[in-house]
Amino acid sequence: MSSHRDIDTSAPVVPSDRWAAVFACILAAFCLGQAIEVNRGLFAFEGLAWLALAMLAVIGPMTLGAAAHRDRRAQRLCVPALTAAFVLQAVQLIFGTPLDVAVIPGALRAIIALSALAALLAVLYGLWKQPRGHSWFYFVLAAHLAAGTAVLVLLPAKAIDVHNAQADSLQALTSGLNPYAIHLKNMYGADALKFYDPATVDGDQMTTGFNYPPLSLLLCLPAYLLVHDFRFAHLLAIEITAALIALARPSTLSKLAACVFLFTPRVFFVLHSTWTEPFWAALFTLFVFALVRSNRPSPVLFGLLLAVKQVTVLSPFALWGLFRPKKRFVPFCLQSILIAAAVSAPLVLWDPSAFYRSAVAFYLRSPIRLDSLSFHALFAAFGVHIPSLIPLLASIALAIFAGRRLPATPSGISCALAISYTIFYAFGKAAFCNYYYLVIAFCCAAVAVADLPCSPPNRRPIPASVSHA
């Protein structure tokens, strides 16, 4: 049986994260927010330009060595940069078009604008007065929750495949039917062949059922049963993510990073579209929160993370650097996989062939999306196609390399994940607003949990590497 070896934290630990890396993650989070603001995260040359800037920013911490002069400059810039990013995003929400609907109700537009304005004033008050505690951040969280609730109450459900998949699958599950064995409705008619493999389309129906792992459906179930609207589970996941980002290592930096995540310009678009990335973001930040507080990576929490989405299989490679000696990495991964399997087993074993058809083969057969915000879509427009295996292998290699180059800290692994998934999405066959929204969460977590020189004295340091025996 495996056990954790206690870590002595009584002696002072020299922080191993770098201000320059934190500043790079701030830039990446902002640039990704702007990339998905352009054309709602669909293909656009301006969006690709922002994406290229984000790639350069997020890769910077891995390629640049430690340098005292860079860290001194970055230390002076981090809080002003986060503040500027948040202010610009709040202004975009106040004066822009935060939702993808023909007509935004006047009351909803006013609520979103007022929530962004209230959050902006609260942040400026917090920076000016520096009050004790986290009261101003809780006010920002409440303002965002109010706006998110208004989006769900005042707007009808969006006619999109991912919403239909979750709604029909929840109805099937609560009726005693296998959500993977049902046939979902074809939401797009003849245009469906642009998005799906022809074998998965049969007239006005799909030949597949629920397209995601079981945990993402189970996380929707309480809201579906309690308030008859599973979208509130997505909203709660966003609020939990922001709270964990802010409170893992409480500081002005962490709370500002959470505010940048909360008010990224397309946040309410992501919420209204009911994409499942908020669940992934919440589970990841919960894993990081526990790692910061306990100094130990939890295989249970990481197993839940692995169980929530198909492409989480890339995540373990970013944790490579946490383990000393390296032989402890494999047992940790095996325990996490067992947890993921245990959570998924009831619905998977109900009908394994239906699960494979709906949640595995469906994605393996999906065509390249020319409307993706990706360089693959750009190359494909000129007849150049990138084999799917190349971005996959490149992202794994980058995750391992980043794990070796970056500090073995919660911030380091967050940054490694941001690097890996940015490259995977930017050169993969499908990449949209929700994908990059997730990477924004990784970047904000990397900023918030960084163990830095001159950090608040009440923060508990985490060793440069953790043991898992």
Q: Is the pLDDT at 437 greater than 90, yes or no? A: yes
- 304-335, pLDDT tens digit by residue? 999 999 999 999 999 988 887 778 999 999 99
- 335-356, pLDDT tens digit by residue? 999 999 999 999 999 999 999 9
- 151-161, pLDDT tens digit by residue? 999 999 999 99
Q: What is the residue extent of each domain of the chain?
A: 19-422+434-448
Amino acid at 176: G
Asked whether 238 and 437 are in contact (CB, 8 A), the reply is no
- 391-400, pLDDT tens digit by residue? 999 999 999 8
**Predicted local distance difference test score (pLDDT) of residue 69:** 67
**Predicted local distance difference test score (pLDDT) of residue 67:** 64
Asked whether 453 and 396 are in contact (CB, 8 A), the reply is no
Three-class SS of the chain: CCCCCCCCCCCCCCCCCCHHHHHHHHHHHHHHHHHHHHHHHCCCHHHHHHHHHHHHHHHHHHHCCCCHHHHHHHHHHHHHHHHHHHHHHHHHHHHCCCCCCCCCCHHHHHHHHHHHHHHHHHHHHHHHHCCCCCHHHHHHHHHHHHHHHHHHHHCCCCCCHHHHHHHHHHHHHHCCCCCCCCCCECCCHHHHHHCCCHHHEECCEECCCCCCCHHHHHHHHHHHHHCCCCHHHHHHHHHHHHHHHHHCCCCHHHHHHHHHHHCCCCHHHHHHHCCCHHHHHHHHHHHHHHHHHHCCCCHHHHHHHHCCCHHHHHHHHHHHHHECCHHHHHHHHHHHHHHHHHHHHHHHHHCHHHHHHHHHHHHHCCCCCCCCCCHHHHHHHCCCCCCCHHHHHHHHHHHHHHHHHCCCCHHHHHHHHHHHHHHHHHCCCCCCHHHHHHHHHHHHHHHHCCCCCCCCCCCCCCCCCECCC
Mean pLDDT score across all residues of the chain: 91
Q: Is the pLDDT at 459 greater than 70, yes or no? A: no
- 191-215, pLDDT tens digit by residue? 999 899 999 999 999 999 999 999 9
Q: Which pTM was predicted?
A: 0.93
Q: Is the pLDDT at 464 greater than 50, yes or no? A: no
**Predicted local distance difference test score (pLDDT) of residue 64:** 64
Q: Is the pLDDT at 9 greater than 90, yes or no? A: no
Average pLDDT value for residue range 145-174: 97
> CA of 81: how far to CAs of 51, 53, 63, 71, 95, in Å?
18, 16, 21, 14, 21
Q: Is the pLDDT at 7 greater than 70, yes or no? A: no
Q: Is the pLDDT at 227 greater than 50, yes or no? A: yes
Q: Is the pLDDT at 390 greater than 90, yes or no? A: yes
- 39-77, pLDDT tens digit by residue? 999 999 999 999 999 999 998 877 665 566 678 888 899
- 272-294, pLDDT tens digit by residue? 999 999 999 999 999 999 999 99
The confidence band for 409, taking pLDDT boundaries of 50, 70 and 90, is very high
Calculate the CA 331 to chain-centre distance.
26
Higher pLDDT, 20 or 216: 216
**Predicted local distance difference test score (pLDDT) of residue 66:** 58
State the burial class of residue 356 (Cβ atoms within 10 Å of its Cβ: 0-12, 13-18, 19+): middle
Calculate the CA 286 to chain-centre distance.
12
How far apart are the C-alpha atoms of 254 and 259, rounded to whole Å? Answer: 9
**Worst-scoring range by mean pLDDT, 58-67, 70-79, 178-187, 457-466?**
457-466
